[in-house]
Amino acid sequence: MGGELALFIIFGALAVAGAVLVIAARNPVYSALGLLLNFCMLGALYILLNAQFLGLVQIIVYAGAVMVLFLFALMLVGERRGGPWRVSAAAAFGVVLALVLLGEVGYVVATQAVGGARGGVTPEMLAKVGNVQALGTVLFTEYLLPFELASVLLLVGILGAVYLARRRLAREG
């Protein structure tokens, strides 16, 4: 019990530290490293939450693929300075909005309990069947159509990225 709470505090604090590094770092490469820390700690939190498959997918997809894409873009652009913070009335308003958002979330979480019917996926059932098999059963029966639509979405994403990133040769000169 105490060990789990300690792990939660360590992972959570490191995730927040990564997030702060993303916002505060002047060099975008440091921002990317902070984001990497954030992703890895969230993966660890998923494993702590008994969602082992998602934890590993988080590491592979985010800390692997998405991070490589970010670093590729940073290196291709080659701009090392991230520019100063935006200092304007709009940015100050944004800070206030973020604080209000945080206060709202804190208020709701502190005052409301999680209601609703409990499903049948108890930790004992997960320990017997396995997280991957249980998730796969739900994904390929109840949520088959959204799963297939996700592949179409990824295809459209590939086409859009290729179209946008190609070099236009003749017209723009």
Q: Are 48 and 7 contacting, i.e. CB atoms less than 8 angstroms apart?
A: yes
What's the CA angle centered on 21, arms 79 and 90, to 5 degrees?
75
Tell me which residues in 15-34 interact with other proteins (CB under 8 A). 15-16, 19-20, 22-23, 28, 31-32
Please name which of 69, 23, 67 lies closest in space to residue 42, comparing C-alpha atoms.
Answer: 67
Tell me which residues in 33-52 interact with other proteins (CB under 8 A). 35, 38-39, 42, 45-46, 48-51
3-state DSSP call for residue 27?
coil
Interface with other proteins, residue 56, by CB under 8 A: no
Please name which of 24, 2, 1, 4 lies closest in space to residue 12, comparing C-alpha atoms.
Answer: 4
Minimum CB separation from other proteins for residue 145, in Å? 11
Please name which of 1, 32, 31, 37 lies closest in space to residue 16, comparing C-alpha atoms.
Answer: 37
Question: Which residue among 127, 148, 160, 169 contacts other proteins (CB under 8 A)?
Answer: 160
Interface with other proteins, residue 1, by CB under 8 A: yes
Query: At which residue do the structure tokens 């109840």 appear?
Result: 142
Tell me which residues in 85-144 interact with other proteins (CB under 8 A). 85-86, 90-91, 93-95, 97-99, 101-102, 105-106, 109-110, 114, 116-122, 134-135, 138-139, 142-143
Minimum CB separation from other proteins for residue 128, in Å? 14
Number of residues that bind other proteins (CB under 8 A): 87
